[in-house]
A and B are shown apart, each in its own frame.
Chain A
């Protein structure tokens, strides 16, 4: 993509069965392995609030957290005698980890587009709109559409645009110190 070296690492087979999944994505001009060291993540894109907490040790105070404002209670926690933490506790904890915690109501926005599955594309739009990824809009959208059947192209374009607008709004709140965009 845009001449960068890309490495990812993925977890296969767990998501469909309700398990926690973490994917690593690295790109740049000097990238060898797929894994990210502790504290060295530029952006954590969390599709669920408690999953953002789970990835805390990859983050530092400079890491930008873009968190979908959504709770999915892990199945079986009641049988295990555990409780899902209060969302405010999650927010407070994340604020201890990083100076850049942003919650996005991506699921709600996706529902206004009448397609809950575009939540992740909205999140990608936010990632781009908040200038946290030094890639061109055109290459991102064509990469997204490449994996999506034609009949869903329009709704995904819309989702990406709405995400960008949310990201631009969010950017206005940024702590100038921690702006990551180098592109």
Chain B
């Protein structure tokens, strides 16, 4: 069997790789042994690619951890044991891990330790746009940021040795357009590190109690100063000075990451790349002081090109102030570029044109601009979440009340859209139960308070909030949408399936047992098949009406996972049809249930099922009041 291109042991070979594959490759080349984390777009493919590599490189010890904090701790345990380790997460995941991260940075790294934070300007698949470069000055550790897949591979490989040299953790920050971009990558040597791997019983270092931490903090500050001194020579930082003027002015640019690549393209657009000075950073924190000083002295105006916060801009302004160079040089940044969203290619071009006085005419919008309907992501055909939210709506209607549906992060968040409109809050992983605890303290009994979250999310951070509700008698109904998969991020396994990242057999954790263990009394626990809609409505009614902390586990395998399982076993899905004689065109199936496999035919004014989309879940059979939907049996 031939190896996947990213796992070839063939240095010098040139391949096209996804940014995340290139990062995984750099981790492999860097001699890493432990990799852990929690899935989250745009970071997820890093660990799954490593898991593919593990077939050929058995020394890799990988896991999906239960959440980012534990993932970080797993990797840090490796670092303590002299092993090169990596923890991998999306930007908001670092919030979860930050309790461990902030103090681990005091004790520092033994085996090289890198924490990957995949940031998401534009919230392509996130709840916020936070800029995790700030974790550098916050935790007093260096922040690396690559600009291309090639640099991502080389930079992360380099990071592990750098981490050991300075005994510092490294924060490796990326953005979506790096993680999910492809580019040419030249493969490098896969390092094999020969040394003794063992825990080191140095209590003065690993036991961060006050008397130790005061000393560790001094060492942490010294380390950062050493790194700061070395930043000017950092091989992924570079300064190119041009003495040329454009319209009488000498211009300089500062950039890192994807904006650096886009800046070069934009400069090439006007053919001025060689006519301006450019400071390119591979380490965005701590800054290379001498290089910045040289740039400040060499130009008249500087544009700092960075997405989100004015992180580098503020650093530049501070250094200019400290070096007494504020007067002759103008430093621009957020006065040109927006502080929100991802920059499109023309934002770079436009702003460079504005700065240096080039001509750039926007492409005009056609006169008769056409309105086309949006194509939003929605719950899949056959998705068991749709059935659960539909059942909840029926119960709500029957009880003539309004629920507070505190919800969470997962595919099911898509139920916020019409027609289900089934959730009222979504803040962070596991937040549904925590928020419900508070809302239940205020909301009158006529408005039952529900917390609705997925299986993986419940494991991630829902459990402490559930125990909290039991302990404090907060009157809530927790609905766990157990589809046996972490679907939104790419169908990763979780404790509920008991399968590990390398598809080996771990130990399954049974949600209902766990819930019992959290103190929920057995008569307040229900487990039902999400797709058995009549029973769901009946049992959910019971659950909503009861008092105390209740947990309803709505269980049905993710329809996409179920489809692939059926395909592997050569089972055809049931064929479901609508009898046009019986259909009266009430469109409950289209307008209330909203399965994308059901459409209405405008000519006949009747609903029809698109067989290419239908997964044969049969839920619509039960919701049709005319009994017009049926399963076609052979």
Contacts and interface: CB of A to CB of B under 8 A. Distances in A.
A48 to B, nearest CB: 9
A8 B182 contact: yes
A60 B590 CA distance: 39
B591 A14 contact: no
Contact of A33 (B258, B365, B374): B258
Interface in A132-149: none
A93 B370 contact: yes
B404 interface: no
A114 B632 CA distance: 23
B374 A17 contact: no
Contacts of B368: 93, 96
Interface stretch (A50-58, A120-128, A156-164): A50-58
Nearest to B418: A79
A97 to B, nearest CB: 6
B372 interface: yes
Contacts of B371: 85
* Consensus secondary structure, chain A interface: loop
Nearest to A84: B373
Contacts, number: 153
Interface stretch (B68-76, B207-215, B375-383): B375-383
Contacts of A7: 148, 181-183, 261
Contacts of B262: 32-33, 35
A18 interface: yes
Interface stretch (A68-76, A166-174, A175-183): A68-76
Contacts of A31: 265
A35 B418 CA distance: 32
Interface string B111-153: 0000000000000110000000000000000000000100000
A165 to B, nearest CB: 26
B182 A13 contact: no
Contact of A74 (B18, B269, B376): B376
B373 A6 contact: no
B177 interface: yes
Interface string A55-90: 011001000000000000111111110111100011
Contact of A76 (B42, B378, B560): B378
Interface string A8-45: 11111110111110000000001111111111100000
A108 interface: no
Contacts of A33: 177, 258, 261-262, 264-265, 345
Contacts of B376: 18-20, 74, 76
B431 interface: no
Contacts of B377: 13-14, 17-19
B181 A10 contact: yes
Given A6-B182, A77-B373, A57 B365 contact: yes
Nearest to B16: A6
B560 A39 contact: no
Interface in B354-374: 362-363, 365-368, 370-374
Nearest to A18: B378
A82 B372 CA distance: 9
Contacts of B181: 7-10, 34
A37 B349 contact: yes
B311 interface: no
A97 B377 CA distance: 27
A67 B208 CA distance: 62
B594 interface: yes
A96 B367 CA distance: 9
A177 B460 CA distance: 59
A82 B375 CA distance: 11
A56 B366 contact: yes
Given A13-B125, A79-B419, A34 B177 contact: yes
Interface string B369-401: 011111111111000000000000000000000
Given A37-B346, A79-B594, A85 B365 contact: no
Contacts of B373: 50, 74, 77, 80, 82-84
B91 to A, nearest CB: 16
Interface string B503-528: 00000000000000000000000000
A39 to B, nearest CB: 4
B25 to A, nearest CB: 16
B352 to A, nearest CB: 12
Contact of B261 (A32, A73, A76, A79): A32
A38 B488 contact: no
B16 A12 contact: no
A80 B419 CA distance: 9
A54 B374 CA distance: 9
Contacts of B490: 13
A78 B612 CA distance: 20
Best-surrounded residue of A11, A37, A83 (most CB of chain B within 10 A): A37
A89 B489 contact: no
B268 interface: yes
Given A18-B376, A38-B345, A76-B418, 9 more contacts: A19-B377, A32-B148, A33-B258, A37-B346, A57-B365, A85-B372, A90-B370, A96-B366, A116-B612
Interface of A: 1, 5-14, 16-20, 30-40, 50-51, 53-54, 56-57, 60, 73-80, 82-85, 89-90, 93, 96-97, 116
- Which 10 A-B pairs give the minimum distances between C-beta atoms? A19-B377, A39-B363, A33-B261, A75-B596, A37-B345, A20-B375, A17-B377, A33-B262, A8-B182, A35-B345
13 contacts: A1-B16, A7-B261, A9-B177, A11-B124, A17-B411, A18-B596, A19-B376, A33-B177, A34-B183, A50-B375, A56-B370, A76-B419, A89-B370
